[in-house]
Amino acid sequence: MKLEVYADRMSQPSRAVIIFCKVNGIDYTELKEDTSKREHLTPEFAEINPMKQLPAIVDGKFKLFESHSILIYLACAFPGVADHWYPADLFKRSKIHSVLYWHHSNLRRTYVINTTILPALGYPSNQQAADEAEKFLVSSLSEIESFWLKGDGPFLLGGNQPSIADLSLVCELMQLEVLNEKYRYRLLGPYKKVQRWIKHTRYAISPHFGDVHKNLMNVKEKLKNKPLMEANHGGVSVSEQWWRARM
Amino acid sequence: MKLEVYADRMSQPSRAVIIFCKVNGIDYTELKEDTSKREHLTPEFAEINPMKQLPAIVDGKFKLFESHSILIYLACAFPGVADHWYPADLFKRSKIHSVLYWHHSNLRRTYVINTTILPALGYPSNQQAADEAEKFLVSSLSEIESFWLKGDGPFLLGGNQPSIADLSLVCELMQLEVLNEKYRYRLLGPYKKVQRWIKHTRYAISPHFGDVHKNLMNVKEKLKNKPLMEANHGGVSVSEQWWRARM
């Protein structure tokens, strides 16, 4: 039976898993769960993942969720996945685990959309929480710039080719694409290495990276050139619920 | 050169790493970093872990931080670690990864002390954040009870012996020990499987589990029988900064 991937391409960890399958030639069936329609909250989906989160996979009788554990599983279970994605070498592999756990405790915790983007788009939110989340995001970007990207290569940990950590973190940061350009530049502008790394990763995983981000880019296009003040007065067409459901 | 473990036993991930070394006969040197004295923020410690977090290890020339990545590394790098801690079987291992990442996004995120315990002890805190954190903690306990402990065995994922996931999560929940008994019972009371699992894990890893938790238990003893109202009026002897530094 073919690998089944339950995903919503508006969610960053879902995109990471789909891109990983595509770039590594893993044969899979994508089962779309539209979180804005609360499809992930149905009893049917609870059979796949009782935690009701995306992405989730079913490989034969084996069910798994949490995107990082899925990426590691796919890298180990499917033949032909190049070593750089999840190196067999214990030291390299351990460093990748370190990035992935750091990601969950830091960058992932900022919940970019929920707490940083929503207020920028003018939706009701807790301003104090948003300010704290922005500080946290900026601090995470600073740590990526100064520590995880301090090596010689263009990728995290000084790698010359991307690992699952690059894929996961860049997919996370891609959520920033939907921001007003000025606001996004204010966030990312100071981090030249981060900007280069995002470009390198997108390029290294083309055309799949771009393909899987099309939905997100459509949203970006819809929001393009909407001045922040207009957004602050409700001039955008996405609902808070729609965004929140995808986080 | 002997493995070096930089740790503060008041921090739950530090304890998990120390216990893992002890129970598996890994020869190590413990280097105490007293976070209440901000020892982890010194330039010297930044040489060990630029992120200035505990625990961190140095194994020869190899440096690593993030407790879960450390536990996985130790399980793979040191001979004689029993398979149940981090099984070689890909399916079992993947499920453990799933628990560990879930932990980081859920239970770990509640920052038990910062947002639930501090207000209970009467320290100034954001009540709304504390309420939300308590809801989050209760929701996490409910998920452990109904999902992670749904198997036949006494440990997570139905195991008959503990894995690094049991060790990590139980060390996290041990922070609740310092709470006023009544409050702790209100939190843990409804979760019978969780209570049994904590007992089983403590017992399975004795005497090391108890030894490494002695500092925490000393704090529990100091706070014992202090009514919540007394604590609410400053009747406890730990400082907010002292707790926060350990999270």
- Residues A201-215 have pLDDT tens digits of 999 999 999 999 998
**Alpha carbon distance B139, B145 (integer Å):** 10
- Residue A178, pLDDT above cutoff 90: no
pLDDT of residue A116 exceeding 80, the answer is: no
Distance from C-alpha of A37 to C-alpha of A239, rounded to nearest angstrom: 12
pLDDT at B121 over 60: no
Predicted confidence band of residue A229 (pLDDT cuts 50, 70, 90): very low
State whether A97 and B65 contact (CB < 8 Å).
no
Cα(A7)–Cα(A123) distance, rounded to whole angstroms?
A: 26
Disruptive mutation site among B101, B105, B127, B132 for chain A (greatest number of A CBs within 10 Å): B101
Q: Using 50, 70 and 90 to split pLDDT, how confident is the model at B143?
A: very high
Q: At what angle do helices B164-174 and B192-204 cross, to 10 degrees?
A: 110
Q: How far is A91 from chain B (nearest CA, A)?
A: 8
Bridge partners, A59 (sequence order): A62
In the predicted structure, residue A166 carries a pLDDT above the cut 60: yes
Among A8-17, A48-57, A121-130, B129-138, the minimum mean pLDDT is found in: A121-130
The yes-or-no verdict on residue A193 having pLDDT over 70 is yes
Residue A4, strand partner residues? A29, A58
pLDDT band at B123 (very low <50, low <70, confident <90, very high): low
Mean pLDDT on A174-199: 89
Phi, psi of B63 (to 5 degrees): -115, 145
Mean pLDDT across B63-80: 97
Q: Which two tokens stand for residue B143?
A: 């998920």
Cα–Cα distances in Å, from A146 out to A193, B40, B63, B165, B229? 9, 19, 17, 31, 46
Mean pLDDT (chain B, rounded) = 84
Query: What DSSP character marks residue B96?
Result: H
Spatial strand order of the sheet with B3-7 comes to: B28-32, B3-7, B56-59, B62-65
B226 confidence band (pLDDT: 50, 70, 90): low
Retrieve residue A229's tokens.
Answer: 């003040």
Of A191-200, B15-24, B130-139, B238-247, where does mean pLDDT reach its minimum? B238-247
Above pLDDT 90, what percent of chain B? 60
Q: What is the pLDDT of residue B115?
A: 46
What sign results for the dihedral spanned by CA atoms A128, A131, A135, A137? positive
From chain B, which residues contact A within 8 Å (Cβ)? 50-51, 62, 64-69, 72-73, 76-77, 90-91, 94-95, 97-98, 100-102, 104-105, 108-109, 143, 146-147
- pLDDT at residue A157, as a whole number: 97
- Identify the residue whose tokens are 């000084």: A158
For chain B, give the percent of residues with pLDDT over 70: 80
Among A41-45, A152-156, A236-240, the range scoring the smallest mean pLDDT is A236-240
The answer to whether residue B8 scores a pLDDT higher than 90 is yes
Nearest to A66 among B72, B76, B98 (CB): B98
- Cβ-Cβ contacts under 8 Å for B81 (sequence gap 6 or more): B24, B26, B74, B75
For residue A239, what pLDDT is reported? 41
Residues paired with B30 in a beta bridge = B5
Interchain proximity B68–A94, CB inside 8 Å: no
Query: What mean pLDDT do residues B71-84 have?
Result: 97
Are the CB atoms for B37 and B69 separated by under 8 Å?
Answer: no
For chain A, what is the mean pLDDT?
84
Q: Which of A85, A21, A82, A87 is nearest to A57 (CA)?
A: A21
State the residue for tokens 């706070």. B223
**Residue B55: per-residue pLDDT:** 96
With a cut of 80, say whether residue A19 has pLDDT above it.
yes
ipTM over 0.90? The verdict is: no
> Mean pLDDT throughout A45-59?
94
Cα separation, B128 vs A227, whole angstroms: 32
Q: Report residue B87 as tokens.
A: 């099984």
Cis peptide bond prior to A154, omega within 30° of 0: no
pLDDT level of residue B231 (50, 70, 90 thresholds): very low
Query: Do residues A5 and A17 touch, judged by C-beta distance below 8 A?
Result: yes
Q: How far apart are the first and last CA of chain A?
A: 30
- In whole angstroms, give the CA distance from residue B16 to residue A58: 31
**Of the ranges A69-73, B117-121, B166-170, which one carries the lowest mean pLDDT score?**
B117-121
pLDDT at A15: 96
Quickly state the pLDDT bin for B222 (edges 50, 70, 90).
confident
Burial of residue B127 (number of CB atoms within 10 Å: 0-12, 13-18, 19+): exposed
Q: How far apart are CA A14 and CA A37, in angstroms?
A: 16
Strands (E), chain B: 3-7, 28-32, 56-59, 62-65
Which residues of chain A have a CB within 8 Å of the CB of B48? none
Determine the distance from the C-alpha atom of residue B51 to the mean position of all C-alpha atoms in its chain, rounded to a whole number: 19
Q: According to the model, what pLDDT value does residue B247 have?
A: 38
- Under the banding of pLDDT at 50, 70 and 90, the label for residue B245 is very low
Concatenating the DSSP letter of every residue in A136-159 gives: HHHHHHHHIIIIIT-SSSSSGGG-
Map out the domains of chain A with their CATH numbers: 3-84 (3.40.30.10), 86-245 (1.20.1050.10)
Q: Which chain A residues touch B if contact means CB-CB below 8 Å?
A: 50-51, 62, 64-69, 72-73, 76-77, 90-91, 94-95, 97-98, 100-102, 104-105, 108-109, 143, 146-147
Per the model's pLDDT, the better-predicted residue between B239 and A13 turns out to be A13
